Chains A and B, each alone.
Chain A
Amino acid sequence: MTLIDLANPTRFLALSARVLPWLAAATVILLTIGLYQSAYAPDDYQQGATVKIMFIHVPNAWLSMFVWGVMSIASLGTLVWRHPLADVAAKAAAPIGAAFTFLALLTGSLWGRPMWGTYWEWDARLTSVLILFLMYLGLMALWRAVDDPSRAARAAAVLTLVGAINLPIIKFSVDWWNTLHQPASVMRMGGSTLDKSFLIPLLVMAVAFTLLFVTLHVAAMRNEILRRRVRSLQMMQASRIAFSSEVGAGSREENASKEVGAA
């Protein structure tokens, strides 16, 4: 089974219908374990219980970038390989990514209030994530503005690839500009600076959120495929009605004259 076998939407629908329950179950189990572990993680000696916001905030922030990465790969699939499901994948991922980005911003500002004393700060990382959120919204607006899906797909693919430049800027902004947001502490040279009692729940939550994204993404892709089928069926039906009314115009006039006669 390679990627090209999935080019057939029917085969993708059949496969994803079998995989989806397992994915959902794995997500629920891992989320439960992760939430349990984060709830029983020790309080930080400085931050107290607010450190637990991290277990939600950090996976959301990672996912906000990961989803754009997935969309960039899907855009390459649209532009380079013309994979028929690539634009479905890119379109389905955008609202989910926007939701993750919004949650990262929201939990970050809720965490920032007790720790930094402010909900919002024009810091390099916060600003670049906000730009990412705006670009998600712009991309969704682009999908909605054009009625022909394949035309919208190519335009959105170009824009997604241009927007991917923002990803390294977000990742390294805390290292390049020494601002309020703390520098990288999990994925860095020389190992993580995070204590094990925090690191393990965080990694479990990260895997759980990734699974959550995959589950939602596959479900959204199925919806998108079905939506396109409904749309093409409706258009076929509309053209059939238009065609039959053209052909049957003469007979309808006869009927109409009969009706007038009967009245």
Chain B
Amino acid sequence: MTALSALIRRDVRIALRVGGGALIGVLFFLTVVVLMPFAVGPDLALLSRLGPAILWLGALLASLLTLDRLFMADHEDGSLDLITMSRTPLELACAAKALAHWLAAGLPLIVATPVLGLLLNLDMVATGAVALTLLAGTPALTFTGMIGAALAVTLHRGGLLMAVLVLPLSIPVLIFGVAASQAVIVGPLSFGAPFSILCALSLVSLVIGPFAAAASLRHGLD
């Protein structure tokens, strides 16, 4: 347990310090959201209708782009080999690393959501709904993306290939995240059903992600 909490603390600390790059994700999120009005035109009514989708897409891309550093930096300085050989099960270590990554890169996205909601002309309720669905959904993005990060480090290939592999897996999260936020803002549908499915997706990826990432690290590193 202490080993895992030490790992989490170390990863968060590295991510927040110079060269960590966790907060670049937030900056990217902001830039994507600011780009949208240039693409669709500064029509406030349209923006408030598209708002949840824009925020979700931005968060998805931001969390995906920061993910390829999840194992890469540790692989470069050799600490990934130590983690693989240590007595802590690799699955738990992967889960701890993903949790630390979510704390450092995922939570700031959710904190930034209200500010970005203002830019997109979302009211309080809508912003709250988007923030809540992001809180429930971004763990799923991190934990499924971790599989891609593990593949990327074993194959020495990152970037586009990883995005191509991981993005199809994150489509369900996107569907139910946007559906739940739309249900609050316009929809006649209930908020509960898509939101529970979103939580279920997060829980399932919490189980599958660490096992798949650990399997890929164990078979792929040499």
A103 contacts partner chain B, Cβ-Cβ < 8 Å: no
B215 contacts partner chain A, Cβ-Cβ < 8 Å: yes
Given contacts A152-B155, A159-B151, A162-B169, contact A79 B161 (CB under 8 A): no
Give min CB distance, B86 to chain A, whole Å. 21
User: By the criterion CB–CB under 8 Å, are A154 and B157 in contact?
Assistant: no
User: By the criterion CB–CB under 8 Å, are A138 and B155 in contact?
Assistant: no
A41 contacts partner chain B, Cβ-Cβ < 8 Å: no
B47 contacts partner chain A, Cβ-Cβ < 8 Å: no
Which residues of A133-170 are within 8 A (CB) of B? Answer: 134-135, 137-138, 141-142, 145-146, 151-152, 154-155, 157-159, 161-163, 165, 169
A249 contacts partner chain B, Cβ-Cβ < 8 Å: no
Max chain A Cβ within 10 angstroms of own Cβ: one of B154, B175, B204:
B154
Which residues of chain B are near A138, meaning CB under 8 Å?
A: 164-165, 168
A115 contacts partner chain B, Cβ-Cβ < 8 Å: no
Which residues of B58-98 are within 8 A (CB) of A? Answer: none
Which residues of chain B are near A142, meaning CB under 8 Å?
A: 151, 155, 161, 165
B127 contacts partner chain A, Cβ-Cβ < 8 Å: no
User: By the criterion CB–CB under 8 Å, are A151 and B168 in contact?
Assistant: no
Which residues of chain A are near B167, meaning CB under 8 Å?
A: 134
Which residues of chain A are near B212, meaning CB under 8 Å?
A: 158, 161-162
User: By the criterion CB–CB under 8 Å, are B216 and A155 in contact?
Assistant: yes
- In the assembled complex, the Cα of A163 lies from the Cα of B144 at a distance in Å of 11
User: By the criterion CB–CB under 8 Å, are A154 and B220 in contact?
Assistant: yes
- In the assembled complex, the Cα of A169 lies from the Cα of B171 at a distance in Å of 13
- In the assembled complex, the Cα of A208 lies from the Cα of B172 at a distance in Å of 34
Given contacts A138-B168, A146-B155, contact A155 B161 (CB under 8 A): no
User: By the criterion CB–CB under 8 Å, are A145 and B161 in contact?
Assistant: yes
- In the assembled complex, the Cα of A1 lies from the Cα of B216 at a distance in Å of 32
B17 contacts partner chain A, Cβ-Cβ < 8 Å: no
User: By the criterion CB–CB under 8 Å, are B208 and A154 in contact?
Assistant: no
B104 contacts partner chain A, Cβ-Cβ < 8 Å: no
Give min CB distance, B207 to chain A, whole Å. 11
Give min CB distance, A179 to chain B, whole Å. 13
A238 contacts partner chain B, Cβ-Cβ < 8 Å: no
Given contacts A79-B219, A146-B155, A152-B155, contact A158 B147 (CB under 8 A): yes
- In the assembled complex, the Cα of A254 lies from the Cα of B101 at a distance in Å of 63
User: By the criterion CB–CB under 8 Å, are A155 and B208 in contact?
Assistant: no
Give min CB distance, A191 to chain B, whole Å. 31
A49 contacts partner chain B, Cβ-Cβ < 8 Å: no
Given contacts A145-B157, A158-B215, A159-B147, contact A135 B220 (CB under 8 A): no
Give min CB distance, A161 to chain B, whole Å. 7
User: By the criterion CB–CB under 8 Å, are B155 and A155 in contact?
Assistant: yes
The residue on B at minimum CB distance from A135 is B168
User: By the criterion CB–CB under 8 Å, are A151 and B165 in contact?
Assistant: no
Which residues of chain A are near B216, meaning CB under 8 Å?
A: 154-155, 158
- In the assembled complex, the Cα of A158 lies from the Cα of B172 at a distance in Å of 20
User: By the criterion CB–CB under 8 Å, are B151 and A158 in contact?
Assistant: yes
Which residues of chain A are near B164, meaning CB under 8 Å?
A: 137-138, 141
A236 contacts partner chain B, Cβ-Cβ < 8 Å: no
The residue on A at minimum CB distance from B152 is A155
Which of B151, B169, B175, B215 interacts with A79 by CB under 8 Å?
B215
Which residues of B163-186 are within 8 A (CB) of A? Answer: 164-165, 167-169, 171-172, 175
A180 contacts partner chain B, Cβ-Cβ < 8 Å: no
Which residues of chain A are near B175, meaning CB under 8 Å?
A: 127
* 5 A-B pairs whose Cβ atoms sit less than 8 Å apart in the complex: A127-B171, A127-B175, A138-B168, A141-B161, A162-B147
Closest 4 CB pairs of A and B: A154-B219, A158-B216, A134-B168, A138-B165
Starting from the known contacts A154-B216, A157-B219, 15 additional A-B residue pairs (CB-CB under 8 Å) come to A127-B171, A131-B168, A134-B167, A142-B155, A142-B161, A146-B157, A151-B155, A151-B220, A154-B154, A155-B219, A158-B219, A159-B147, A159-B165, A163-B168, A163-B169
